[in-house]
Amino acid sequence: MIQKKICLLGGSGVGKTSLVSQFVHSIFSDRYLTTVGVKIDKKSIDLDAEQLDLVIWDIYGHDDFQKLRVSYLRGASGYLLVADGTRAATLETALEVHHLAYEAIGDVPFVLVLNKADLRDDWQIPQAAIDDLVGRGWRVMVTSAKTGEMVEAAFESLGRSMLTPARKNEP
């Protein structure tokens, strides 16, 4: 059994708490309830015959009203960087947060999650921006916390990255 701390980072309203709720409790609520401070959840997953115990830190959204306190990242082995596919500005926020995280904890695995795939008709993040990040070696996944689409896969992808040797993810 291996235990790892992971964090969910990104702007406000992108669905970080909903992703955790869907992943840990298989629950989704349409009601937006902003996160204050941090919430810590736990879930064990089996990856290739290895049990990985995730300690999941859901950290309040980084925006004009509250900035990320990077001390919360200490000890994290990886993070999900979350953006809202229907709001292009949240990708910029995710990139900003990625810089902060890189400065705080260095080159740890992460997955960029573009959430709200159930609203694909309203999608605003240009494919070219995604292609550019993928070209730089970023792992990008499209999820829906509402339907559960790719949510488990995103956490598992991060889990696998944490169990394999480090690779360069410089901002």
Partner 1 sequence: MSNDDVALLLNAIGILAFERDPEGSFRPLAAPPPWFGALGRDGTFPFLGHILEEAIAFWTARTDGVRSWGPCAEVDADGKEFHYLVKAVTVGPRSYLLFQADESVEQLRAVLQTVRSDALKRPPG
Q: Could you list the residues that contact partner 1 (CB under 8 A)? A: 5, 12-13, 32-40, 42, 55, 57, 61, 63, 65-66, 71-72, 74-75, 87-89, 124
Which residues make Cβ contacts (< 8 Å) with residue 34, sequence separation at least 6?
12, 13, 60, 61
Amino acid identity of residue 37, one-letter, is: G
**Shortest distance, CB of residue 5 to partner 1, whole angstroms?**
7
Query: DSSP label at 14?
Result: S
**Shortest distance, CB of residue 55 to partner 1, whole angstroms?**
5
| Residue placing its CB nearer to partner 1 in the complex, 15 or 139 | 15
| Residue placing its CB nearer to partner 1 in the complex, 38 or 134 | 38
Q: Which two tokens stand for residue 96?
A: 């900003």
Rounded to whole angstroms, the Cα distance separating 55 from 69 reads 18
**Shortest distance, CB of residue 168 to partner 1, whole angstroms?**
27
Rounded to whole angstroms, the Cα distance separating 54 from 89 reads 29
| Residue placing its CB nearer to partner 1 in the complex, 71 or 127 | 71
**Shortest distance, CB of residue 148 to partner 1, whole angstroms?**
21
Rounded to whole angstroms, the Cα distance separating 136 from 13 reads 26
| Residue placing its CB nearer to partner 1 in the complex, 40 or 134 | 40
Distance in angstroms between the alpha carbons of the first and the last residue of the chain: 31
